[in-house]
Amino acid sequence: MENILQQVGIDNYIYLSTLLFCVGIFGVLYRRNAIVMFMSIEIMLNAVNLLLVAFSTYHQDAAGQVFVFFSMAVAAAEVAVGLAILVAVYRNHNGIDIDNLKKLKG
Amino acid sequence: METNLALLLLFAPFAGFLINVFFGKKLGRNASGILGTLAVTVSFAATLFFFLQVMNTKVPVMVNLFEWLKLANFTVNFSFQLDQLSLLWLMFVTGIGTLIHMYSISYMHDDENMHKFFAYLNLFVFFMITLVMGSNLLIMFIGWEGVGLCSYLLIGFWYKNQTYNDAAKKAFIMNRIGDLGFLIGIFILGYLFHTVEYDMMKTELTNGWPVDKTWLGIAMLCLFIGACGKSAQIPLYTWLPDAMAGPTPVSALIHAATMVTAGIFMITRLNFLFNLTPDVLEIIAVVGAVTSLVAASIGLVQNDIKKVLAYSTVSQLGLMFLALGLGAYEIAVFHVITHAFFKACLFLGSGSVIHALHGEQDMRNMGGLRKVMKITFITFLISTLAISGLPPFSGFFSKDEILMTAFHHNKVLWIIGSLASIMTAFYMFRLLYLTFYKDFRGTEEQKHHLHESPSLITFPLIVLAILALVGGAISLPGMSWLNEYLAPVMAKPAEHHHLGNTEYMLMGIAVVGALIGIGIAYAKYIKKGEVPPADAEITGVTNVLYNKYYVDEIYTAIIVKPIYAIGSFFKNVIEVALSGFVFGLGRAATLLGNEGKTIQNGSVGFYLLVFVLGVCSILGYIFLVK
């Protein structure tokens, strides 16, 4: 483990996860397809997971990695709920373009 | 046994009230009238029993029902006291009450709300008994308020007429001013003595309880203001003449014989306190004397038969207050009793006349009734002689005692009182001549229907006339049964006027004065046969008197109008400003909401953008700025 960290360096992990996170953000902001937005959110989540694991290794503390397992489990549940919502949306609107979801307008 | 009988005395009229209120309509006219009369008769019988008992044993009957209020060092009991004074009052309240109930059965027979009338009348008697029987000031206050309420209900009994309603409201509001004074007086007395029981206050005083004289004076003055309201003294007298809007039996019972004497009862009840504040007594005497003169002078020119009697009542009450102010409580009580007899008789007599004329009250349209209404005429004549103060009628003794006492204390008050008496003799005989002598001046149709009233009406008249004739016997000068009887409730023994030359001269002057008044009336209305002119032709001083010195107008200008002005100021300015401010806040919130809701445009992308920007700015703030 330490080997890997020495080979690549903690800062590169930080850069990578920042990059992934930004990709996720821009994906959420620019795409109109709900599934793609959903995937972008997953990217953001995984960027954070990656950073957690990296720091966990850096600090020689397994707690971060345990935490990631929890995070992944929650993400799996979230995906189940999210996809179910998307199916429901699709049935009602015949599509999953979020620009059509304007019923909650004030 | 005594407790039960006392409760029966108190609650018989109340039971009558309840039955008449709930079942009166079903019972029918006669039954509800008879029931109401019986209820008061029961009270009268119970009163008679106690009266005879207390007269023999001279021991007052105390009935303590329960403890009503208990504060730190202040207890009020719900208890009643049947002593000499309250029993005397109860005697004529229930006695005259019975007669007037009986009279009303016939008088109100054609009224659709007869059961309601008897319900109110019974309720009135109940509250009057409460007022008189209570053993402390708070119980008296219950009765005091209750009779005020009944007075209001009965003045406005014919509620379809707006003027009558206004008169009822006027009576209620004017009484309210006095009641406030009464209440404040009670509070101060409670503060000073830590009790409002009459007996305990008396005991404390004899035991040398320290009393602040200034506060006591204020309390007595406040109580006197209360008495002014209830007993129609200056400046709160204007409601009583207007109260004549009520049915005539009401005027006789409430506004002549019983309720209006409540103020005198209260002052007599608290005579041991009033004796300590001579300054207040002085004020009472002056107010009483001035009231008697002012009211008598207004009575000189009134043309409504009941208005004359109303002003006469105010004037006589003024004389009673004069006696109270001079410390002669027994004499005031004496005049209350004789006045109750002859004034009730006069009112009922006028009611009989009004009944015969189908509601006509203007004396200009009467005359000559002597021939058709013999019993009414004779009883009316006796009462008129009594009120004018001619011997041997009852009014002579009581009025003469008052004037004699006034003469010994203050000559000016004596002159004022004597003038009022002369005026009384004049206007009463003016009334008598205009109503019963000469020829009938009403319409032909009325003339055709003229008749003597039925015996239910004439019987009370006869009884009251007999009492008015012989009532003076209870307190003859020199050998007064009344003074002896009342001695236990009086703090100071009654003054004994030695019947010397001065006293006989004073009697002579009083009789001559009354005869002069009668003579003027005779010359004017019999010899010359004058009839008071129509309203438009009244001029000069007469006009001022006819319009009651414009007191009502003055009150309207200096009290009613400013209050209305304040009211409309608050309604039009303050109310508008305040509600404008509150509504403004509401409108601003609505506006903001309407603008704000456009931000929530339903576009998820926009929400997300804002969300990200928000998170970025928070992060930026945390990492860069801090």
Whether A99 has its CB under 8 Å from any CB of chain B: the answer is yes
- CA distances to B175, B193, B271, B393, B485 from B137, rounded to whole Å, are 17, 12, 13, 35, 23
Residue B396 has pLDDT above 80, yes or no: yes
Contact yes or no for B124/B213 (Cβ under 8 A): no
* Closest-approach residue (CA) in chain A for B595: A106
Q: CB B604 to CB A101 under 8 A? A: yes
Confidence of residue B343 (pLDDT cuts 50, 70, 90): very high
3-state SS record for B461-483: HHHHHHHHHHHHHHEECCEEHHH
Look at residue B76 and give its three-state secondary structure.
strand
Nearest CA in chain A to B594: A106
Domain span holding position B620: 554-625
B601/A102 CB distance under 8 A: yes
Say which DSSP state B362 is in.
B
Q: What is the pLDDT of residue B283?
A: 93
Q: What is the pLDDT of residue B360?
A: 84
pLDDT band at B425 (very low <50, low <70, confident <90, very high): very high
Task: Say if A86 is an interface residue toward chain B (CB within 8 Å).
Answer: no
| pLDDT beyond 70 at B497 | no
Same domain, B450 and B593: no
A48 and B CB contact within 8 Å: no
CA torsion sign for B504, B505, B510, B513 is positive
Pairing of strands B475-476, B479-480: antiparallel
Look at residue A93 in the predicted model and tell me its pLDDT: 85
Domain extents for chain A? 2-100
Shortest CA gap B588–chain A (Å): 18
pLDDT of B219 strictly over 90 = yes
More confident residue, B478 or B108: B108
Residue B125 has pLDDT above 80, yes or no: yes
B79 φ, ψ to 5°?
A: -140, 160
Based on the domain organization, do B467 and B613 belong to the same domain? Answer: no
Quick check: is B222 in a domain? no
Nearest CA in chain A to B601: A105
Are B257 and B118 spatial neighbours (Cβ–Cβ below 8 Å)? no
Q: Which CATH architecture has domain A2-100?
A: Orthogonal Bundle (1.10)
CA distance B577 to chain A (A): 34
With an 8 Å Cβ cutoff, is B1 touching chain A?
no
Outline where B156-212 has alpha helix (H): 162-193, 198-206
* pLDDT score of B111: 84
Confidence category of residue A106, pLDDT binned at 50, 70, 90: low
Of the three residues B496, B526, B546, the one that is the final residue of a domain is B546
pLDDT band (50, 70, 90) for residue A3: low
Residue B383 CB neighbours (<10 A): 30
pLDDT at B383 exceeding the cut of 90: yes
The Cα of A99 is separated from the nearest Cα of chain B by a number of Å equal to 6
Low-confidence winner among A3-12, A15-24, B149-158, B594-603 (lowest mean pLDDT): A3-12
Please state, for a pLDDT cut of 70, what percent of chain B lies above it: 100
Are B390 and B447 in the same domain?
A: yes
Residue B494 pLDDT greater than 80, yes or no: no
3-state per-residue secondary structure call for B441-460:
CCCHHHHHHCCCCCHHHHHH
Residue A16 has pLDDT above 90, yes or no: yes
3-state per-residue secondary structure call for chain A: CHHHHHHHCHHHHHHHHHHHHHHHHHHHHHCCEHHHHHHHHHHHHHHHHHHHHHHHHHCCCCHHHHHHHHHHHHHHHHHHHHHHHHHHHHHHHCCCEHHHCCCCCC
In chain A, residues with a C-beta closer than 8 Å to the C-beta of B608 are: 28-29
- Determine contact: B603 vs chain A, CB below 8 A: yes
What is the model's pLDDT at position B179? 93
> What value does the mean pLDDT take over residues B168-191?
92
Dihedral (C-alpha) B73, B74, B79, B84: value to the nearest 10 degrees? 100
What is the overall mean pLDDT for chain B? 89
Q: Does B608 touch chain A (CB under 8 A)?
A: yes
Rounded distance between C-alpha atoms, residue B56 and residue B33, angstroms: 35
Q: Does B26 touch chain A (CB under 8 A)?
A: no
Which residue, among B31, B603, B248, has the nearest Cα to A104 in the 3D structure? B603
Q: Is B134 helix (H, G, I), strand (E, B) or coil?
A: strand
Q: Residue B267 in contact with residue B224, Cβ under 8 Å?
A: yes
Closest by CA position to B316, among listed B301, B329, B337, B305: B337
For chain B, what is the domain count?
Answer: 2
B170, part of any domain: no
CA–CA distance from B501 to each of A91, B331, B476, B498 (Å)? 124, 21, 17, 9
Cβ B227 vs Cβ B289: under 8 Å? no
| pLDDT at residue B256 is higher than 60 | yes
Say whether B599 and A29 touch across the interface (CB within 8 A).
Answer: no
B592 touches chain A (CB under 8 A): no
Q: Is B594 on the interface with A (CB under 8 A)?
A: no
Last residue of a domain, one of B500, B522, B546: B546
A101 touches chain B (CB under 8 A): yes
The answer, for B593 touching chain A at a CB cutoff of 8 Å, is no
Confidence band for B188, pLDDT divided at 50, 70 and 90:
very high
Residue ending a domain, among B512, B546, B580, is: B546
| Chain B contact set for A28 (CB, 8 A) | 608, 612
Contact A104 B612 (CB under 8 A): no
Contacting residues for B583 by C-beta, under 8 A, at least 6 apart: none
Within this chain, do residues B541 and B567 fall inside the same structural domain, yes or no? no
Residue range B523-528: mean pLDDT, rounded:
86
Chain B hits for A102, CB-CB cut-off 8 Å, are: 601-603
Which residue of A lies nearest to B605 if distances are taken between CA atoms?
A29
* Cβ–Cβ under 8 Å, residues B275 and B290: no
**What is the average per-residue pLDDT within B185-199?**
90
Residue B285 has pLDDT above 90, yes or no: yes
Closest CA of chain B from A29, distance in Å: 6
Evaluate whether B378 touches B458 at the Cβ level (below 8 Å): no
Contacts of A100 in chain B (CB under 8 A): none
- Chain-centroid distance of CA B100 in Å reads 17
The strand ranges marked E within B329-413 are none
Whether B485 and B562 map to the same domain: the answer is: no
Please indicate, yes or no, if residue B85 is contained in any of the structural domains. no
Q: What average pLDDT does the segment B58-87 reach?
A: 88
Residue B54 lies inside a defined structural domain of this protein? no
The two most distant CA atoms of chain A are separated, in Å, by 56
Q: In the predicted model, is pLDDT for residue B502 greater than 80? A: yes
From the CA of A5, how many Å to the nearest CA of chain B? 27
What does the alpha-carbon distance between residue B380 and residue B458 come to, in Å, rounded to a whole number?
11
Structural domain includes residue B140: no
The rounded distance, in Å, linking the Cα atoms of B174 and B243 is: 11
Instruction: Using a CB–CB cutoff of 8 Å, tell me whether B605 touches chain A.
Output: yes
Distance from CA of A20 to the nearest CA of B (A): 15
| Residues A32, B605: C-beta atoms closer than 8 Å | yes
Whether residue B378 is found in the same domain as residue B521 = yes
> Any chain A CB within 8 A of the CB of B615?
no
State the pLDDT at residue A59: 87
pLDDT band of residue B150 (cuts 50, 70, 90) is very high
Measured CA to CA, the distance from residue A69 to residue A54 in angstroms comes to 14
Q: Which residues contact B7 (CB under 8 A, 6 or more apart)?
A: B63
Q: Which residue of B has its CA nearest to A31?
A: B605
Report if residue B40 sits inside a domain: no
Give the closest residue to B83 by CA, choosing from B474, B490, B467. B490
Whether B588 is in a domain gets the answer yes
pLDDT range class, residue B447, cuts 50, 70, 90: confident
Residues B484 and B561 in one domain: no
Q: Which residues of A touch B603 (CB under 8 A)?
A: 99, 102
Query: Which residues partner with B71 through β-bridges?
Result: B74
Q: Which residues of chain B does A31 touch, with a Cβ-Cβ cutoff of 8 Å?
A: none
Please list the residues that pair with B197 across neighbouring strands.
Answer: B136
A window 27-46, beta carbon within 8 A of B: 28-29, 32
Best residue in A97, A98, A100, A103 for a mutation probing chain B (most B CBs within 10 Å): A98
The number of residues making up chain A comes to 106
> What mean pLDDT is predicted for residues B615-620?
92
Residue B578 and residue B538 share a domain:
no
So what's the pLDDT on residue B296? Answer: 92
Residues B542 and B563 in one domain: no
Tell whether B345 is covered by a domain.
yes
Does B605 sit within 8 Å of A99, measured CB to CB? Answer: yes
Structure ipTM over 0.85, yes or no:
no
**What does the pLDDT look like over A20-47, one tens digit per residue?**
999 999 999 888 888 999 999 999 999 9
- Please tell me the distance from the alpha carbon of residue B134 to that of residue A59, in angstroms, as a whole number: 94
CA B579 to chain centre: 43
CA B238, distance to chain mean position in Å, is 11
- In whole angstroms, give the CA distance from residue B421 to residue B418: 5
User: Based on the domain organization, do B437 and B459 belong to the same domain?
Assistant: yes
| B51, pLDDT greater than 90 | yes
Among B590, B592, B601, B604, pick the best mutation site for testing chain A contact (most A Cβ within 10 A).
B604
CA B171 to centroid of chain Cα atoms: 9
Is B599 an interface residue toward A (CB < 8 Å)? yes
Verify whether the Cβ–Cβ distance B612 to A29 is below 8 Å. Answer: yes
Residue B603 to residue A102, Cβ atoms within 8 A: yes
pLDDT of residue A2 exceeding 70, the answer is no
Q: Rounded mean pLDDT of B532-550?
A: 79
Which residue in A28, A102, A103 is closest to B608 by CB distance?
A28
Token output for B279: 């300054």
